[in-house]
Amino acid sequence: MLQIFLDIKAIDPHNYVAFTFFIGTMAMMGAAVFFFMEVGGTSPQWRTSVLVSGLITFIAAVHYYYMRGYNLDTGDSPTFFRYVDWILTVPLMCVEFYLITKKAGAKIGLLWKLIFASVVMLVTGYIGEAIKGTETISWVWGAISGAAYFYIVYLVWMGDVAQLAKSSSASVAKAINTLGWFVLVGWAIYPLGYILGTEGGLFGFKLVQDRAAAVAAMDIVYNIGDAINKIGFGLVIYALSRSNDNNA
């Protein structure tokens, strides 16, 4: 594993896309090492949650290293491999809501609701982004993906997760509220990237007229959003595990 990360290709200082892939790799790997090292000192009730945070950032780090190499070798956006990363990490981020509300009475049905919605969001998003067709097709798949996203937002802010937060400890309720803002605001970065990168421009317009510039902007938006959201999610969970109020 160490040899893989030592095999680093040179990056042109003006290649901002590759640079954000590189920074993403290092940030995610650093976060993963931190979370893994802290698992042993975490109270049993939060140990799995911190471990999952480490898994999320580690999986992302490996994918980002590969995507950076792919981008340098081909000059293309690693759309397929990005969605492979998301199909593994985003459901795990949703699992965190279940784990921290479990003692407040969260049922296994909530876990499957969150996982199912996240998978639908990602699969339809990939189809809409990867398909080479008309703007209408991209709009339809984007709308389905958006509906799944807003269902997750509903669960977190008004649905099962929100209701469980009310019967949880103050520290758990605070963590859920913060994670909810990540979902509502932080995850909103991804629809922006989708609009930038969709063939022909989603909704009948182009935010960036040049196709290559649009794809580059999409990758930068996704890379920044991923680092903030995945590491931020983990830090919220870590802060919860270290709070004085540990009675969910």
State pLDDT tens for residues 34-91.
999 999 999 999 999 999 999 999 999 999 999 998 988 888 889 899 999 999 999 9
Please provide the CATH number assigned to the domain covering 2-241: 1.20.1070.10
Position 6 scores a pLDDT of 47
Question: Among residues 226, 229, 230, 233, which one has the least CA distance to residue 57?
Answer: 230
| Percent of the chain scoring above 70 in pLDDT | 82
Residues 112, 115, 119, 125: what is their CA dihedral angle, to the nearest 10 degrees?
130
Contact 96, 110 (CB under 8 A): no
Rounded Cα gap, residues 222 and 200, in angstroms: 19
Task: Label residue 4 by pLDDT band (50, 70, 90).
Answer: very low
pLDDT, tens digit, for every residue of 88-109? 999 999 999 999 998 888 899 9
Position 49 scores a pLDDT of 96
Q: In sequence order, what DSSP letters do the residues of 184-208 get, joined into one string?
A: IIITTHHHHHHHHHSTT-GGG--SS
pLDDT, tens digit, for every residue of 210-227? 556 767 877 888 898 899
Mean pLDDT of the chain: 85
Residue type, 99: L
Position 244 scores a pLDDT of 64
| Percent of the chain scoring above 90 in pLDDT | 57
- The residue count of the chain comes to 248
The answer to whether residue 10 scores a pLDDT higher than 50 is: yes
Q: Rounded to a whole number, what is the distance in angstroms from the first to the last CA of the chain?
A: 38
